[in-house]
Structure 1
C-alpha cells in the first residue's frame, strides 16, 4: 500500500513539473541565470563553514588544514573581549531597532496624508534619495559636520565653546550611528508601507468620515490594522538581523577610543580574519553570529505566531 502511495506521489510530482514546464518554460529559463548566480555566490561559499572547525591555512587549503573541532569556538568564548563584543552588538542592534523600525512607518503615514500630489512626490523623492548615497560618502558627510574641524565645532568655536570630539567619544557613537542610519534608509523602507497603505479600501475611510472619525482615529483604527501583516513581517526580519549590525559604517566610524561601545562581532571578525589572518577563528565567530541570528528569527516568528496569529511561516 505504502509503495503504491509513493509511486502515485512521484508520478504526481513529475506530472506537475511537466505541466509547469510546458506552461512556464520561458519564465523558468529566464530565471535560470539568477538561480545559477545564487548557487555560485550564496550557497557554494557555504562550503567554507568547515574552516570554523580547522586551524585553517591559506597554503594548505580546506583539505590540508588541521581539524581542531570546537577549539575556535571555545577560544572565542574564553576571549577577554567576548562579553564586550556581545554586549555592544546586542545593545547597538536593539537601539537601532527601537529607533529605526518605527521611523519608516511614521514617514509612510505622514506622506499618505499629504493631499497635494506634487508635494507628495517631492517628499517621497527627497526622503528616498539618501538611500543611493554610498556609506563611505555618508560617513564623510558626518565627519565634515561633526568632525574636529567640522561645521558644528566651527560654530561652537565662534561662541567660545571648546570643540567636541564626536567621533572619539563613546557617548556620541550610538547616536551618530542610529541617526545617520535613519536618514539613510527611512525613505527606502517606507516604500513597502506606502504600498500596503495604497491597497487599503478607501470605502473604510469614507465610512469613518461619516461617523465623525478624525484623521488620527482613522490611522489608529483603519490604517495601522490594515498594514499590520506588513509591519509584523518586517519586524520579524528585523529581529533576525538585530545581531548583524552594519559592519562597513562602524568600521569607518569607530576608533580604539570608542571600542568600548563600537566594537561589535562583525568588526572583530574583520580584525581577526583580515588583519590578523586568523581565518579559522574568524570563521567560527561568523558562524556563531549566523546561528544566533537564526535563533532570533525563529524565536520572533514563533512568538508572533502564538501571540499575534501572524508569522512568516
Structure 2
C-alpha cells in the first residue's frame, strides 16, 4: 500500500475548506467560490502523476490556481453587475448550527465549509465589492489570510511592491467606508461577545417594533443618517436605490409590511452576526444584515433576490 500517496491525496483534499474560505471572500458567492475550487481541483487531477509529484506544496499550488480563477471571475463579474437590476449584494450565509438538521443544504453544501468571522460580515464584503479585482485578491490574501507579499506576487504575477500598493489601496477603501461611522474600525478590538450581545438586543427590539408597525420605535433604533440597500435582482420588488435616513427607512419598512401581510420575522445569524429573516409560509423572502454603531443601526442590507436565498428557504422551511 502506497501510504505516501494516500497521505498526499488526503492533504490535497484537506485544502478544500481553506480554498472555499478564500474564494468566498474574493467572490461573495458560495456557488462561485465552489466553482473556483472545483476548477482548481480539476486542473490538479488533470496533470500527469509525475507533474503532481513534482509540486513541492500542493496547497500553495491550489491556492495560486483558485486566486487566479477568482481574479478572472471578478473581472467578468464587474461587467455582469453593470447590467444588474438595482443594487447587487453578496449572497448572505446562514449559521448552520441554528437550523434543525445541522445545515441549510446538508454537509455537502459549500457554505458549510466557510468560516463565519468578521471577514465575512456583510459590511466587510460590501467594501470588498468596491475594490478592483486585483485589489480584492491581494487584500484578501494578505490582510485576511496573512500571505506574505513575495508569495502573493507569484500568485498574481506582479511585483511584491505592486502588491503592497494594492493592499494599501484596499485598506484605504476600508478606512473610507468606516470613517463616517464614528470610528468603528478603531472599535473593532472590543470584546466580540459584548458586541454580539448588544447587536442581538438591538435586533430583537427592531424586530418587535417592525412587527408592531411602530414607526417611532423604529426611528429610535435607527441612526438618523442610516442607509438601507435592497437587492431584488429585478426578480422581486425592491428599492432600486438606497433608502437614506432613519425616518424614511422606518416608514418604508412599515409600508412594506403592510403590503405583504403574513410575514414572520425571525432572528437569525447572517454572515456571523445577528440579523433578521422574513418568511412567508416557511419560504424566506428577505434576509437582512445590519450594522450598528453605538447601539443604533447605521446600515441595513436586505437581500431579496430569490436566487441568493435558496439556502435560507431550505433551512427556513424546516425551522418555520
Give the TM-score taking structure 2 as reference length.
Answer: 0.26
Give the TM-score taking structure 1 as reference length.
Answer: 0.26
Whose radius of gyration is greater, 1 or 2? 1
With a CA cutoff of 8 Å and minimum separation of 6, indicate the structure with the bigger relative contact order.
1
Higher strand share goes to which structure? 2
